[in-house]
Amino acid sequence: MKRVSIHDVAREAGVSITTISKALNNYPDVNPQTKRRIQEVVERLNYVPDAAGRSMGGIPEKVIGLLINDLKPLDPSGAVYGILSGVCHACQDRGIGFMLLTTDFAAQRTVPLKKLCLSKGLTGLVCSGFRLDDSYPAQLRDIDIPCAFIDVETGAPGVIDVTMDNERAAQEAVAFLLKNGRRNVALVNGMRTADVAVRRGRGYRRALENANLPVLPERMLAADFDEGLAHEQARRLLARDKAVDAVFCASDLMALGVCRAAEELGMEIGRDLAVIGFDDIPVARYLYGGLTTVRQDFYLMGYTAGCAVDDRINGRADSLVTGDMMYELVVRGSAPGRL
C-alpha cells in the first residue's frame, strides 16, 4: 500500500501539484472553487502531506526537544513527569512541535550535544535531569539553538536557567524550624553531584549560622534522594543522637524515610521530631498528618522553560527566568508552627 502523494491529489483534481501545494498552504492566488475541489479530493484520498517532504521543500517544522538525562522506570517524586507535561503543553499552546529525547552519562561522552541536536533537527532545547559531573552542561557553548536548563545553574551565556532559589528556600525551611523552638536540626540531603542538593545544603548551613548554632557534620546525612537510604541513615542518627529534634530533608521521599525511622524508634512526628521535606509530592498532604514541605511546581518549570525557548526562537530575548521559579513553604502536621 503506497503512500498517497501530492501527485495523486493533483491527478485526481485535474490540476498541477503546484496548485495543490498553494491551496494547502493557504496562498491567496488560488481560485476558491479550485480550492474547494482540492479539499474534497484531499479528504477522499486521505492525503496527508509528508513531513520529510515539506521539511526539504522549505517548511521545516519548528521543534523543541526535551532532553532528559537518565530516564528511570520510576519517578516517585513526579518531577520528570511534571516537567515533561509542562514542556509538552507549552509546545501545544505555542503551536510548535515537541520531541522527547533521552540520554545518559555514557551517551553524553559518545554523542556530542551538538550532533544530537542537529540529527534531530531541533529548533530549541530544554534539558532536565543533569548533574554537575555530566558533560552536556559543558557543551552548551557548542550549540546554536535556544536552550533552557532545568535545575542546574549553568551560568552559560545565552542559556536560560530555569531554577528556583534552592538555597534561600532551604534556609527559610530551617529557619522555620528554629523559630518554632527546634534547636538540633539535622539534614538529609541528596547526592553532591546534584546542583539543587548542593544549594539546599548551603541554605541549611546558612540558617544555622545565622542563628549562631553549630553546623555539625555528623548531623548532615547524604541519602541520594532515596527513601530507603534516608530511612537507614536517619535510624542510625536518631538512635545515637537523642538531641536531634528536627530534620530538614532535600526531598519528600527522603522525608518519608525519616518519618518511618522515627516512628520505629517510638517518636511522634511533629512533636518529638519535626520533619520538613521538599517538593510537595501529590501524596505529601496525606501522610503523617500532612508533610510540611517546600513546594515547587515542576509542571510550571517545564511550561516556563518551553515558553522561554520558544520566545528565544522567535527573537524575543527578554525572558530570562533565572532563579525565579516559585516555591512555598507548606506547613502541615509533620512540622507544625507558624511562619
Partner DNA sequence: GTGAAAGCGCTAACAT
Partner DNA sequence: ATGTTAGCGCTTTCAC
Residue type, 75: D
The values of phi and psi at residue 137, to 5°, are: -55, -30
Say whether residue 16 binds a copy of itself (CB under 8 A). Answer: no
In the complex, least distance from residue 123 CB atom to DNA, rounded to whole angstroms: 15
252-264 helix and 227-240 helix, angle to the nearest 10 degrees: 40
Name the residue nearer to a copy of itself (CB basis): 1 or 243: 1
Of 303, 271, 301, the C-alpha closest to 289 is 271
Of the candidate residues 16, 40, 44, 53, the single one contacting a copy of itself (CB under 8 A): 53
Q: What share of the chain is helix, strand, coil (3-state, %, to 5)?
A: 45, 15, 40
CA 101, 104, 105, 111 dihedral sign is negative
Terminal alpha carbon distance of the chain? 68
Torsions phi, psi for 165 (to 5 deg): -80, 80
Q: Which residues in the 169-228 window bind a copy of itself by CB under 8 A?
A: 227
- Give 56 or 100: the residue with its C-beta nearer to DNA: 56
Which span sits near DNA by CB under 7 A: 16-24, 71-79, 194-202, 251-259? 16-24
Of the candidates 233, 167, 225, 153, the residue with the CA atom closest to the CA atom of residue 201: 167
Contact region with a copy of itself (CB under 8 A), list: 68-76, 131-139, 214-222, 323-331: 68-76
Q: Which is nearer to DNA, 1 or 74 (CB)?
A: 1
Nearer to a copy of itself (CB atom), residue 141 or residue 179: 141
Residue from 1, 28, 74, 157 touching DNA (CB under 7 A): that is 28
Helices (H), 121-165: none
Residue 148 to residue 325: CA distance in whole angstroms: 13
Q: In the window 71-90, what residues touch a copy of itself (CB under 8 A)?
A: 71-76, 78, 80-82, 84-86, 88-89
39, 40, 44, 59: which one contacts DNA (CB under 7 A)? 59
Q: Does 31 bind DNA (CB under 7 A)?
A: yes
Interface with a copy of itself in residues 285-324 (CB under 8 A): 286-287, 299
Under rule CB under 7 A, residue 49 binds DNA: yes
- Give min distance, CB of 24 to DNA, in A: 6
| Residue 106 makes contact with a copy of itself by CB under 8 A | no
Smallest separation, CB 136 to DNA (Å): 23
Coil, strand or helix at 179: helix
Q: Which residues pair with 124 in a beta bridge?
A: 64
